[in-house]
Amino acid sequence: MKETIACKVLDGERLNFHEAEHLYQEAGLLELGYLANRVRQKLHPEGTVTFVVDRNINYTNICVNACRFCAFYRLPGDPEGYLLSREEIGRKIEATLAAGGTQILMQGGLHPDLDLAWFEDLFSWIKSRYPVTLHSLSPVEIDDLARKEGLPVAEVLQRLKRAGLDSLPGGGAEILVDRVRNRVSPKKTSTARWLEVMRTAHALGMKSTATMVFGLGETMAERIAHLEAIRQLQDETGGFTAFIPWSFQPGNTDLGGEEAGACEYLRILALSRIYLDNFPNIQVSWVTQGTKVAQTALFFGANDFGSTMLEENVVRAAGASFRADQEEILRCIRAAGFRPAQRDNEYHILRYYEAG
């Protein structure tokens, strides 16, 4: 059975749910890595590994969702709660541009006092001053705005797009199975609604990424159900540019538990590359796994080193302390035998660097 499934992968045939589950259970780490690497080589035979220079700006940490797996949020009224001023956001963007950045990823909490007009004003202000791509607001934040305003998701996205929003990050997906979501974040956007926001964004011509946070107490079948949900949507819309799986960081969270190790991360990454045959790009997660594991992940199906992430606060609040500047990313890519290339939000190459 395992050999038959492996042959399907090598022949470029799509795996079904049960074949993926069987392959994960029966194949060794190196077998999964070999198959995923072959898929990667077919999709990206040029031997390039891309990255984007950007910054994560968490405009607020105030959030009413109170997810059990999150160590970043603060409830309204908490003395540690903050909301960045426009001037602070501007300084962060200027520093990003000075470092050669092209993209700003803005995500925060569900702040009860921020309405749609606040984001329209902010995005218009940013776009009138700075030449950056706004890859911002997760489906959860879009859903929150739609509910607060009493508007359809499409109207919220259209207004934000007119204000300057370019694309959506895949935040808030965690595991797209409501049993898991109800246990770890019962107030959060449902699976169907998360997918609805992404479907609507794609219909409006906006691209997005997709993520998965694993290690929240889900089963392997639920992880594959997550992959199946986004694969089906990608078949329908073609709007996802990349998939980023990363491991839950339990530090300082109410949920607690054990973090998935490097072996489990690489196995999930490899299965993702094999199963998501309609996703062009798979990103490593050096922020949660470190650069050594991320470098190894380039041989388990990944073709993108993510971003320089000049600032990151959410994962750091849960105990992750990995850091990598642009030089370190270039070094890792070269040392692995690939040619580094800086890309934009839609994976257009902006600059090639010399190979190692």
Segment (H or E) for 244: strand 240-247
According to the model, what pLDDT value does residue 1 have?
74
According to the model, what pLDDT value does residue 305 have?
95
List, as one string, the DSSP characters of 36-93.
HHHHHHHH-TT-EEEEE-EEEE--B-B-SS--TT-SS-B-TT-TT--B--HHHHHHHH
Segment (H or E) for 240: strand 240-247
According to the model, what pLDDT value does residue 137 have?
97
Strand order through the sheet with 48-52: 304-307, 48-52, 339-343, 349-352
- Tell me the helices (H) and strands (E) count for the chain, helix number first: 14, 11
pLDDT mean for each 10 residues of the chain (356 residues): 92 97 96 97 96 94 92 94 96 94 95 97 98 97 97 98 98 96 94 98 98 95 98 98 93 83 96 98 92 96 89 65 82 96 96 88
Strand order through the sheet with 167-168: 167-168, 207-214, 240-247, 281-282
pTM of the model: 0.95
